[in-house]
Amino acid sequence: MASGTVKVEIEGHVATMTVSRPEKLNALDLDMLKALSEAADEAEANAQVRVAILTGEGKGFSAGGDIKAWGGMRPEEFGHAWVRHGHRIFERLATLRVPLVAALNGHSLGGGLELAGVADIRIAEQQIKIGLPETGLGMVPGWSGTQRLVKRFGAQVVRRMALGGEIFTADEARALGIVDAVTTTGNAVEAAKVYAARIAARGPVALEVVKLMIASANGEDNGTAVEALGSILVAKTGDLKEGVAAFTEKRPVQFKGEW
């Protein structure tokens, strides 16, 4: 299936989401941000999906935000319609119920690296470059480059990219912990599928819960993680079933403290 400029293909337990604007190296605009959100919804709504892959069509993963999409915006419009909106979409992807593997088949710069940063696992092709060049344009990373990426990669690594303008090769990025594996050119998606199959073979409930636990330990939206875990636990109890039944039958509730 396709969702705007993001294609979604579900095969067995694996959903592959492909950003599809190859003529612009998959640079993101508002329509693509919306399509990414819809793709996440589609993958998550399918109960058979246990893991997702995020990649880009053609020679690029994502060149980040399309300057033509935001360059002419008024400051307040830029802050709300672009930065905050994109932030919400990226958070949606980062908190996907299933593990997410990014197949970096091309350069991941600026917003493209922030997009890669939402994934739980990153597999990069050997030829790609990684960095946060925004300050060279007189702007700052706006889609959690100084927030999520610091938590996941470390503050000093982000300083080197955002302050010093350093651009890393795939091998350098692996050594720094930005990517988890490096593969040959043209092989990132296949390598991601192999890794996704490895994840999908594990307990799906355990995967969902442990992803929330790790996010909480890493300081990523602790409130959501704690409430989600608590809600999942309570939803399986006899007390909740009794509460719902009593409400439906319009009778006094009789809790028994049953797990």
Cα distances (Å, whole numbers) of residue 208 to 95, 196, 202, 212, 221 = 10, 14, 11, 7, 15
Contact (CB, 8 A) for 34 and 65: no
Residue with tokens 């050997």: 126
Which run of H or of E encompasses 75? helix 75-77
Q: Is 9 a known active-site residue?
A: no
Instruction: Give the separation between CA 139 and CA 136, rounded to whole angstroms.
Output: 7
Catalytic residue flag (residue 114): yes
- The single residue of 42, 57, 125, 134 carrying the catalytic annotation is 134
Q: Which two tokens stand for residue 216?
A: 């909480």
Nearest Cα neighbor of 173 from 232, 122, 101 is 122
Catalytic residue among 42, 57, 114, 208: 114
Residue indicated by tokens 């300081």: 219
Catalytic positions are 114, 134
